Structure 1
Amino acid sequence: MLFIETRGSWREMGRQIGDAFPEQLRSCIDYYAAWLVADLDRYRPAIAQIRDLISAHVPELIDETAGLAESSGIDEDTLLGYRFFNEVRERISEGCSVVYVANSDVGPILGRNCDLSATFDPDIQLCRTSRPTDGPDRITTTYLGMAGAVGVNASGLGIGGASAHTQSHYGVEGLPGQILNLLLMGRCGCVAEARDLLSRHAFLGKSQVLLTGDRDGASVLFEMAPGRTAEPVDRPPEQDWQICTNFFPSGRIPIDPEPMYLESAYARFGRMSHTLGAGLVERSVSGIQQLLTDIAQPGLCIPQDHVTLQTAYSQVMELATGRMHIRPGHPEDASWQVVALT
């Protein structure tokens, strides 16, 4: 896993990333978007449309991409296409698990395992501490060079997502998921604000579930399918926890019948819901760390011969303090470290 702290204007922060990881960034583009580099002129009209969309909603990302291009020497259109094309997202498989606990020894916490292909993907995950001059500080994780990310901001809002498969599409208008994530991290400070923002924009891109939680103890799960606004799933009032894996739990969006994928998703979901519901998990950072260890792939829930993805990293976010505990690798191979906003 890669780590960086960036400061200053968005253009300056883009330069800092390009200076730190120029070769890794080129490798990412070659691996995930060789089709883009091979025929860039074909995609320039689409990239121009994406540029207009970004400029209208998150103009800071145009500046950051310009900085990336300046320091890495990579064509700006290539970078913009790589960062935002839905085709890139469609080629990335993720099998993540997310858990929110409202009451712990350090206040509300959000935990997540990021499960990816064992080849290449784990090496180019980036944990980034951003301190922009015109927005809240934040700690986020994502693929190197990608724009959208999950994490925690200085206002105490945390977001964690997981892929969820459906064949249902509801329209072609909306904002890409990466832009919505950026708006959540940069414009929202609590779950209520996140809920309002997502109610105003239809979602486009790879279908997913997104669990949001804040430092005041609120959480809500959003089910997101292309062409419709996010479907909120409220936490039952008797629970102080909420979870998601790789399916839509409400039943309001059809789930693809993919047995191997759903076997893992339901096994992890069942382990979390049982241990949290029965009070078998200590409400603490170490307790959630152990829960994430229990559901890592391969591991207790998913034997080696059933694994299609592998846990690339785990993270536990203290939403009241802005601290992220992160374990870069599978539990058998890695130890926890801390990244903090203060």
Structure 2
Amino acid sequence: MTQADHILLSGGPAELGRRHGAARSHQLRAFLDDSLARLNHLLDEPVSLDALRPTINAHREAITHQTPDLAAEIDGLAQGAGITPDEAMLLQIRREILGYRRVPTRGDCTTYARAGEVVAQTVDLNGDLDDQIAVLEVAPAESGRRSLLLSFAGLLGYLGMNSDGLAIGLNLVLGGRWRPGLPPYLAIRHLLDNAGDVDEALKLLSGLRLTSSRSLTLCSPGKAAYVEILGGETRVVEGAQTVHTNHYLHPDLAPDDELNVFARNSSLRRLQACTAELADLPAAADAEEHFAVLSSPPICVPDDGDIRLERTVAAVVMHPGQGRMHVRPGDPSRSRTHVFTLR
């Protein structure tokens, strides 16, 4: 059964990276050696590290400018894992290198939040990434704020929650021009490091130049919201309960949605199914009741053996007020729950 490694990280930025890299060195080396982080299993045309260096350098410059601590942590990751700085950076921008995928897909995350209570979601990815799952518990030096983060293949962030009670999930949405900047996964880490609630996170987010389109779902005591991002445009929708899949919901951004028709149909079905399931879910539902929602079709996307297609590789239920992250690695309908608690 797929496991989720639990990695405790503390110290300054470089030390956080070194500890992360050392803990995952064998896995990261093997992953990079597997058709260049499996990119060449997924792209129509093969790429090489040499060919990607201009892209890597452009992103490095943007990341260093906006979040110098994360840039230092990426360098520390390279040192700890015994990989090159370019390889460590490649792991952070891998999704941006894949870019838009206009082939038929069946899933790419279903996320919901209830204000002050829970953020829950499936994680739908291609590339068979359920063997690359880790949960990072991060305690930066000289900071009283700590975070629990779900990570894949050396990412410094993906989704997570912090000790102030802020939780953040995400969905891929497609639109606008993708460009060198701060990858959304690293932006989530930056928000959890530096924001205590939804309002602070949204204010920080407004000052960042992101690489690519996303929707982020945020929850802290008393508030839940999602923010859709398209180029330099953002739209925020607050509610006692929010549900998001993979198409733009805000009418200002929906006309620029680039999701292909097959993926859009899947996104609509999952949005409708999740909304219906939540109507019957009690306000005091526990993690296992939330996993029952996340494990049901069409919300849970099964594996059909094609590495190129998205499938559910994990499901997560975060109770930020309790400091608990519940993770089912792999297909959540077939795996057991792992519980991680902020210390």
TM-score by length of 2: 0.83
* Native 8 Å contact 2:128 2:313 kept in 1: no
1:212 to 209, 218, 221: 218
Tell which deviates more after alignment, 26-35 or 307-316.
26-35
Matched AA of 1:201: L
1:268 corresponds to: 270
Q: Structure 1 152/38 Cα, relative in aligned 2: closer, same or farther at 3 Å?
A: closer
Q: Structure 1 176/313 Cα, relative in aligned 2: closer, same or farther at 3 Å?
A: closer
2:43 corresponds to: none
Deviations 1:161-198 (A, max 9, x none): 011123x33x8586432342222111111111112122
1:191 corresponds to: 198
2:129 to 121, 126, 129: 121
Matched AA of 2:235: E
* Native 8 Å contact 2:217 2:226 kept in 1: yes
Matched AA of 1:318: H
Tell which deviates more after alignment, 177-186 or 78-87.
78-87
2-side partners of 1:311 and 1:173: how far apart? 28
Q: Structure 1 203/55 Cα, relative in aligned 2: closer, same or farther at 3 Å?
A: closer
Which residues of structure 2 form unaligned runs of 5+?
A: 41-45
Shift of 1:91: 7.3
Shift of 1:62: 2.7
* Native 8 Å contact 2:62 2:180 kept in 1: no
Structure 1 runs of 4+ aligned residues shifted over 6 Å read 91-94, 302-305
The alignment status of 1:234 with 2:238, answered yes or no, reads yes
Q: Structure 1 251/132 Cα, relative in aligned 2: closer, same or farther at 3 Å?
A: same
Q: Structure 1 179/311 Cα, relative in aligned 2: closer, same or farther at 3 Å?
A: closer
Matched AA of 1:129: E
Shift of 1:9: 2.3
1:18 corresponds to: 21
2-side partners of 1:272 and 1:84: how far apart? 30
Q: Structure 1 174/63 Cα, relative in aligned 2: closer, same or farther at 3 Å?
A: closer
Shift of 1:335: 0.8
The alignment status of 1:137 with 2:142, answered yes or no, reads no
Shift of 1:314: 0.8
2:261 corresponds to: 259
Q: Structure 1 172/22 Cα, relative in aligned 2: closer, same or farther at 3 Å?
A: closer
1-side partners of 2:142 and 2:48: how far apart? 33
2:117 corresponds to: 108
> Helix, strand or coil: the match of 2:37?
helix
> Helix, strand or coil: the match of 2:210?
strand
2-side partners of 1:173 and 1:23: how far apart? 29
Shift of 1:82: 3.4
Deviations 1:212-253 (A, max 9, x none): 111x1211111112x313221232xxxx31110111111222
2-side partners of 1:12 and 1:264: how far apart? 42
Deviations 1:259-285 (A, max 9, x none): 321222111110122233xx4112222
> Helix, strand or coil: the match of 1:31?
coil
2-side partners of 1:67 and 1:331: how far apart? 33
Matched AA of 1:180: A
1:99 corresponds to: 112
Matched AA of 1:209: S
> Helix, strand or coil: the match of 1:204?
coil
* Native 8 Å contact 2:58 2:180 kept in 1: no
The alignment status of 1:224 with 2:204, answered yes or no, reads no
* Native 8 Å contact 1:198 1:229 kept in 2: no
Shift of 1:134: 3.5
1-side partners of 2:91 and 2:167: how far apart? 25
Shift of 1:46: 4.9
2-side partners of 1:31 and 1:179: how far apart? 18
Shift of 1:86: 6.3
> Helix, strand or coil: the match of 2:80?
helix
1:157 corresponds to: 166
2:87 corresponds to: 78
1-side partners of 2:228 and 2:273: how far apart? 21
1:39 corresponds to: 50
2-side partners of 1:180 and 1:297: how far apart? 26
TM-score by length of 1: 0.83
- Calculate the aligned-residue CA RMSD, in Å: 3.0
* Native 8 Å contact 2:300 2:332 kept in 1: no
* Native 8 Å contact 1:108 1:319 kept in 2: yes
* Native 8 Å contact 2:159 2:185 kept in 1: no
2-side partners of 1:70 and 1:298: how far apart? 36
Which residues of structure 1 form unaligned runs of 5+?
A: none
The alignment status of 1:27 with 2:36, answered yes or no, reads no
Q: Structure 1 86/155 Cα, relative in aligned 2: closer, same or farther at 3 Å?
A: same
